[in-house]
Amino acid sequence: MEKRQLSAWEKVEIARNPKRKTSLDYINEIFDQFIELHGDRNFSDDKSIVCGLARIKNQNFTIIAEQKGRTTKENIERNFGMPNPESYRKAIRFMRQAEKFKRPVITFIDTKGAYPGIGAEERGQGEAIARSMFEMTRLKVPIISIVIGEGSSGGALAIGVANKVFMLENAIYSILSPEGYASILWKDASRAKEAAEKMKLTAKDLYDLKVIDKIIKESSKIDEEKEEFEETAKRIKSEILSALAELNKQKSTDIVEQRYLKFRNIGGNL
C-alpha cells in the first residue's frame, strides 16, 4: 500500500510537536563526545543556543545548535528556543574559534524565530543576526547545517549560511511562520493552514527549489521507537561525514567561494 503524503500543515504540526527530538538529543546520539561551552563574553549565556566541542573518532567539530525545551520549566530556561542577541554573539565567538583551530562547524536549526522582545531589540537583535550571517559567509572552515524541526525567519538563517544544508523529512524551513504569513497577506492568522501550502516550506519543496542539498529520511511518528531515532541519527551522522569528506578536499579559499556562490546563485547548488 502506498504511503500517504502528508500535507504541509501536517508537517508544520510534526515539526512543532513538543515531543519531537531536540538538538541535544541528536548531538548526544551522533557524536562520541560533546562538551558544552558557555557565554558571549559580553552580556550573558543565553541557553536557546547551545555551543560546544564534539568529536567523532579523531575528527573534532564545533557545534552550534538551537535548543527547545519540553516541559514548561525547560522552555522558560531555553526561551522556547527563540535566541536572544547574546546567543548569536556566543555562536560568533565559537565560529571564530573553530576557524582558529580548523574545526568544521555543524549547526542544528530548530526555532520559531529570534526572540522579538524589547530587551532583545535594545541589545541589537538585528545586528547580531546580520553579524552571524556575515561571519558565516567568510569562515574558512566547512559549515554543515541540519534543519531538524522548525526553521523560521532570520532566527534560523542566522546559523544556516552553510556549505551544505540538510533537512529532516518532516522539518520545515521558511521566511516566517504560516500564521505570520497569513496575517501579512490576508490579515487573518486563522488561514495558517492555507498559508502553509503556499509557502513551499517542506523539505521536498525546498529540495525541488534547490534551497537545500539533501532530505534525510525519518519516521513520521512523534513517539518514535528508540531504534527509529537511532536510525535517523545514524543517517545524519553519515551525511555529515560524507559532506565533510567532500569539503575537506577543497582549499579554504574554495570553501568560502563555494558557500558564496551557493547563496548568490552563481554556479553553485542553487
- With CA atoms as reference, report the closest residue to 176 among 162, 189, 159: 189
Q: Is the confidence at residue 270, as pLDDT, over 60? A: no
Using CA atoms, how far apart are residues 203 and 212, in angstroms rounded to an integer?
Answer: 8
Using CA atoms, how far apart are residues 137 and 87, in angstroms rounded to an integer?
Answer: 18
Q: How would residue 266 be classed by pLDDT, with cut points 50, 70 and 90?
A: very low
In the prediction, which pLDDT does 232 show? 94
Q: Is the confidence at residue 269, as pLDDT, over 90? A: no
In a domain, 26, yes or no: yes
Task: Count up the domains in the chain and report the number.
Answer: 1
List the grid coordinates of 265: 546563485
Residue percentage of the chain with pLDDT more than 90 = 81
Q: Is the confidence at residue 4, as pLDDT, over 80? A: no
In the prediction, which pLDDT does 265 show? 75
Give the residue-averaged pLDDT of 96-122: 95
In a domain, 269, yes or no: no
In the prediction, which pLDDT does 227 show? 85
Domain that holds residue 197: 8-264
In a domain, 270, yes or no: no
In a domain, 2, yes or no: no
In the prediction, which pLDDT does 56 show? 97
In the prediction, which pLDDT does 264 show? 84
In the prediction, which pLDDT does 129 show? 96
| CATH number of 120's domain | 3.90.226.10
- Output the CA–CA distances (angstroms, integers) from residue 65 to 4, 13, 27, 108, 197, in the order listed: 32, 21, 9, 4, 28
Give the residue-averaged pLDDT of 198-226: 88
In the prediction, which pLDDT does 222 show? 67
In a domain, 1, yes or no: no
Dihedrals phi, psi of 253, to nearest 5 degrees: -65, -35
- Output the CA–CA distances (angstroms, integers) from residue 224 to 14, 30, 213, 265, in the order listed: 12, 17, 25, 38
In a domain, 21, yes or no: yes
The pLDDT tens digits for 244-255 are 999 999 999 999
Mean pLDDT of the chain: 92
Nearest 5°: the CA angle 22, 13, 121 is 65
The pLDDT tens digits for 139-193 are 999 999 999 999 998 999 999 999 999 999 999 999 898 999 999 999 999 999 9
In the prediction, which pLDDT does 1 show? 43
Give the residue-averaged pLDDT of 204-219: 93
Nearest 5°: the CA angle 153, 158, 159 is 120
In a domain, 105, yes or no: yes
Residue percentage of the chain with pLDDT more than 70 = 96
In the prediction, which pLDDT does 224 show? 65
Q: Is the confidence at residue 40, as pLDDT, over 60? A: yes
In a domain, 78, yes or no: yes
